[in-house]
Amino acid sequence: MRKRDTDKEDLVKQTAIKLIVKNGLEGFSMNKLAKACNISVATLYIYYKDRDDLILNIAMESGKLMSDTIIKDFDPELSLEEGLRQQWKNRYKFMTDHPGLNLFFDQLRSSSYQEEFLSGFLKEFKLVMGKFMQNVMERGEIEEMTFETYWAIAFAPLYALARFDNEGKSLSGKPYQMTDKVLWKTFNLVIKALKK
């Protein structure tokens, strides 16, 4: 038997993400991917059943990575401020450690892969996050609110900052780069909104 070249396999994954981020799913093709990796198209069909299988597999693997990063050192029994701070830390770390991966996820979110992508790695994740909110609410640290309201206040601002950062320029026209200072300033406002 011959062993599969795991370097090549990894190259395929990285290149696929890079191409999709750059040109969108719309501008992505198997032939282009093969060419960019300097391998034969047919090789892609050894690794993956078809185009959908390729995209979904890479998506789910990346999703798992995100999920693992976000859950790290997080305990749903933490206080509102401690717990949320850890969440912001983890999510921020993921963004900076894997620049572009958020853009990759944006592509998936606005595609037909969305549902399968989310369902893949979000199960455990949902449970832990839901538990945390419930604890905090039961302890009376925050008012009664729906999960949607909670999420919208607690995390949407963070992802908005990330998008500004990715686009590299603010609405005001000035170039923009996220800094720790801006991040934690925004975090403090979020805490102010949520705390009773």
Partner DNA sequence: CATATAAGTGAATGAATATTCACTTATATT
Partner DNA sequence: AATATAAGTGAATATTCATTCACTTATATG
Separation of alpha carbons 159 and 91, rounded Å: 9
- 8 Å CB contact between 137 and 144: yes
* Under rule CB under 8 A, residue 46 binds a second copy: no
Which residue in the set 10, 46, 131, 170 belongs to the binding site for DNA (CB under 7 A)?
46
Running DSSP on this structure, what letter comes out for residue 114? H
Separation of alpha carbons 180 and 94, rounded Å: 14
- Residue 51 contact, options a second copy, DNA, none, Cβ 5-8 Å cut-off depending on partner type: DNA
Q: 52-81: which residues touch DNA (CB under 7 A)? A: 52
Q: 130-149: which residues touch a second copy (CB under 8 A)? A: 130, 145-149
CA distances from 11 to 2, 3, 42, 72, 180 (A): 19, 16, 15, 27, 32
* Under rule CB under 7 A, residue 10 binds DNA: no
Nearer to a second copy, 39 or 94 (CB): 94
Burial of 120 (0-12, 13-18, 19+ CB in 10 A): middle
- Residue 106 contact, options a second copy, DNA, none, Cβ 5-8 Å cut-off depending on partner type: a second copy
Residue 17 beta carbon to DNA: minimum distance, rounded to whole angstroms = 15
Residues lying near a second copy in the complex (CB under 8 A): 23-27, 103, 106-107, 109-112, 122, 126, 129-130, 145-149, 151-153, 155-161, 164, 170-173, 176, 178, 182, 185-186, 189-190, 192-194
